[in-house]
Amino acid sequence: MEEGKSSKTTSCCELDIRSLLYVSLNDNLVCPICCSAFVDPCYTKCGHTFCSVCLYRALAQSQKCPVDRGPLSDDDICPPPKILSNMVNELLVYCPNVDKGCKSTVQRCLLRHHLQDKCRYTLLACPSDACTELIERRFIDRDPANCFHRPIMCPDCHDSVAEFELDDHKNTCTARSTKCPDCSKEFSMADIKDHLDTCSESVVTCPANSLGCRWSGRREKLDSHTAECVLTSLAPFLDKQEERIANLEAENKTLRAQIAVGGSNSMLDSDVFHIFTEHERFRSELERLSEQLGELEIRQSVMLTNQTVRAKEEIQNMRNAVNAIRHQMHFLMMERRTWALQNLATSSVVPPGAVVPASSSAAGSGASGGNSNGHEEVANIRFMRRESEPYRQDVKL
Amino acid sequence: MATPQAVRRIGRLVAKSNIAVVKELADINAQPSPVYTAGPKSDSDILNWEVSITGPEGTPYQGGTFKLALTLPPTYPFHPPTLSFVTKIYHPNVLPDGMVCIPLLKTDQWKPACKLVTVIDIAVGLLKEPDEDQAIEGEAADIYKVDRKKYEKTAKEWTKKYAN
């Protein structure tokens, strides 16, 4: 019992992950050393991934990366990204008892659980106290108190067989006899297979069944049927035709694929070329236009400044001229007033040449002329203002 | 009577034998090469392989079939395998006792990520074109360097004589 129990525990823990059969395995998840999916992967500074066990074993031989042979020490190894560990742990594997009949596929990380608690084919210690053998779980489930290692006599061949093996033995026991379902004769298990292929009583179909012949009957009548059956005689010819058609279809398919690829390619190329040339043309035109626009803008602004400067100058000149005229008028008015005042005083006639000297002096220096007559202005300020208003307005107009 | 315990013991032996070798053998069987066949000599000893290479066309070895022995150490793939010709061959890279000079198979050059397929491919490559730089001391190597025509003639004769 003790031994049985210890074996029971080891049978579960002894799981060799590397010998598992995977449902599908990405080549990127395979360790380059042991050629199986990563087990407890680790990651080197040179970017390679290995199973930890494999890598440390390789480093014990030489301190080089097993892939690129670059120098590598224990310090250059780090745990892999979590996602990698998860990916390898979630890989689907076939139960190691697949040979015995377990059809389950489980995630690799759950396999231990499956074997320990679920798999019906896991070997467990025999429930009988007297027995030290192991027995599959399905037998224990069937009868938890029974020891299935008890030898039993096979009723046919009289060999002693363990009880749990009896089911399998019945299918293979050569001494066991069975009846042919067609001719009802008895045959041993070893011979029945050969007999079924040749039994003259069994019902068979015409070999040209796939070509449409619906005949079926006893095997002994098959020969006479095939002698008459048109389809059977045609069969070799039809088979050959079918093969030829299949070949032609395959060839046709490849040719069509080639044409499709070639046709679409050439069209694509010319289209793309056309679009590219158009694009290039538009780009150069755009460049030309934007250049022209810039040039025009510069020219415009230069012209504008030139014009403005000239206009400003002209305005200044005109303003100066207007000022000069105003002073001249002023001077003349003053002259006239003083003359009028004197006239009033003396009751004489106004001299006609008074305007001429005044205008010549005002053209030279209008401003100084205004200043030199300041005292007269102050003296008659009230009068002058009243009189000068209408003249000023005349000048402005 | 095979008890489950006995079955389990055998299973454990199989499991303890080199998984990497088993996987590589499965890969080779899954994608057989037209140029060579390779596999263990017997099912019980997975570490002694027999490789059979067909002489490449256009070489003096054309028409011959060359048998090689590929011996794996129990520590494979951590130690390199050894490769030697069983069939006598006149080749600048093969010693008279059949040992092949492949740098990869030296202990300091070997890397565990190398596969047996790679080793066999190198051997096939050597048959296609001998590696003059790796030529070892021997008659074939000397003549290969000096008199190519004589080498080809002798190699053809040996192929006819030993590799048919």
Q: Give pLDDT, residue A291.
A: 95
As for how many domains chain A has, the answer is: 3
- The catalytic position among B28, B68, B83, B101 is B101
Average pLDDT over residues A5-23: 60
Q: Which residues pair with A71 in a beta bridge?
A: A64
Residue A331 pLDDT grade (very low, low, confident, very high; cuts 50, 70, 90) = very high
Q: How confident is the model at residue A279 (pLDDT cuts 50, 70, 90)?
A: very high
Higher per-residue confidence, A390 vs A103: A103
Co-location of A184 and A131 in the same domain = no
Average model confidence (pLDDT) across chain B? 81
User: Are A323 and A366 found together in one domain?
Assistant: yes
pLDDT at B31: 85
pLDDT over threshold 80, residue A130: no
- Catalytic: B101? yes
pLDDT tens-digit series, residues A169-200: 777 776 667 777 777 777 777 677 778 777 77
Does B5 contact A134 at a Cβ distance shorter than 8 Å?
yes
**Same-domain status, A299 and A390:** yes
Whether A182 and A192 have beta carbons less than 8 Å apart is answered as no
- Mean pLDDT score, B11-35: 74
CA A178 to chain centre: 63
Q: How far apart are CA A200 and CA A220, in angstroms?
A: 5
* Cα–Cα dist B80/A131, whole Å: 47
For residues B14 and A67, which has the higher predicted lDDT (pLDDT)? Answer: A67
Which of A169-173, B17-21, B85-89 is the most confident on average? B85-89
Domain stops at, among A201, A228, A255: A228
pTM of the shown model = 0.51
What pLDDT score does A263 carry? 57
Encode pLDDT of A38-81 as tens digits: 888 998 888 899 988 888 888 888 888 888 888 888 888 888 88
Distance, in Å, from the CA atom of A373 to the CA atom of A362, rounded to the nearest integer, reads 12
Q: Which residue of A has its CA nearest to B26?
A: A35
Give the residue-averaged pLDDT of A82-99. Answer: 87
A167: in domain: yes
Cβ count near B41 (within 10 Å): 13
Do A34 and A57 belong together in one domain? Answer: yes
* Extended beta strands in chain A, E state: 41-44, 49-51, 77-78, 92-94, 105-107, 123-125, 134-136, 151-153, 160-162, 177-179, 186-188, 203-205, 216-218
Boundary of a domain, candidates A147, A181, A212:
A147
Is B23 in CB contact (< 8 Å) with chain A? yes
Task: Map out the domains of chain B with their CATH numbers.
Answer: 12-162 (3.10.110.10)
> Is there a domain that residue A40 lies in?
yes
* pLDDT at residue A68 in the model: 86
Q: Are A88 and A210 within one domain?
A: no
Which of A99-103, A252-256, B2-6, B111-115 bottoms out in mean pLDDT, i.e. has the lowest? B2-6
Whether the predicted pLDDT of A32 surpasses 70: yes
Structure tokens given for A192: 């029945």
Mean pLDDT, residues B115-131 taken together: 89
Q: Which of A104, A123, A147 is the C-terminal boundary of a domain?
A: A147
Lowest mean per-residue pLDDT among A74-83, A376-385, B21-30? A376-385
Q: Is residue A361 part of a domain?
A: yes
Q: Please give the pLDDT value at position A356.
A: 45
B78 touching chain A per CB within 8 A:
yes
The answer on pLDDT for B8 being more than 50 is: no
User: What does the block give as tokens for A133?
Assistant: 């053998």
Return the higher-pLDDT residue of B47 and A11.
B47
A325 vs A36, residue with greater confidence: A325
With an 8 Å Cβ cutoff, are B111 and A64 in contact?
yes
Is the per-residue pLDDT at A8 higher than 70? no
Contact A70, A46 (CB under 8 A): yes
Domain assignment of residue A220, yes or no: yes
Same domain, A15 and A79: yes
The tens digit of pLDDT for each residue in A379-396 reads 455 454 444 444 544 444
List, as one string, the DSSP characters of A264-307: HHHHHHHHHHHHHHHHHHHHHHHHHHHHHHHHHHHHHHHHHHHH
Output the domain CATH number for residue A57.
3.30.40.10
Clarify whether residues A275 and A139 are in a common domain. Answer: no
At residue A142, does pLDDT exceed 80?
no
Q: What is the pLDDT of residue B95?
A: 85
B2 vs A: CB within 8 A: no
> Alpha-carbon distance B21 to A247, whole Å?
40
What was the pLDDT predicted at A300? Answer: 95
Q: Which of B3, B23, B112 sits opposite A66 (nearest CB)?
A: B112
Kindly list the residues from chain A whose CB atom is less than 8 angstroms away from the CB atom of residue B1.
162
Tracing tokens 């070798």 back to the chain, one arrives at B21
Which residues, listed in sequence order, are joined to residue A274 by a DSSP beta bridge?
none
C-beta separation of A200 from A183 below 8 A: yes
Residue A361 pLDDT: 44
Q: Looking at the predicted structure, is the pLDDT value of residue A376 above 70? A: no
Task: Note whether A175 and A100 are same-domain residues.
Answer: no
pLDDT of residue A306: 94
Asked if B112's CB is within 8 angstroms of A58's CB, the reply is: yes
pLDDT score for A166: 73
Q: Is A152 a domain residue?
A: no
* Residue A307, pLDDT score: 94
Look at residue A33 and tell me whether its pLDDT is greater than 60: yes
- Look up residue A319 and give its two tokens: 């303003």
Residue A155 lies in a domain: no
Q: DSSP for B80-92?
A: --EEEESS----T
How close B109 gets to chain A, by Cα (Å)?
Answer: 8
Domain extent for A213: 160-228
Q: A307 and A253 in one domain?
A: yes
Rounded percentage of chain A residues whose pLDDT exceeds 90: 20
Residue with tokens 């990520």: B113
What pLDDT was estimated at residue A309? 95
Closest CA to B19 of A96, A35, A112: A35
Confidence grade of residue A3 (pLDDT, cut at 50, 70, 90): very low
Residue A390 lies in a domain: yes
Please indicate whether, in this complex, the C-beta atoms of A136 and B4 are within 8 angstroms of each other.
Answer: yes
Cβ contact (<8 Å) for B4 and A135?
A: yes
**Candidate from A195-199, A363-367, B35-39, B151-155 with smallest mean pLDDT:** A363-367
Verify that A307 and A259 share a domain, yes or no.
yes
**Statement to judge: residues A84 and A223 lie in one domain:** no
Indicate whether this complex's ipTM tops 0.90. Answer: no
pLDDT at A262: 63
Residues A241 and A386 in one domain: yes
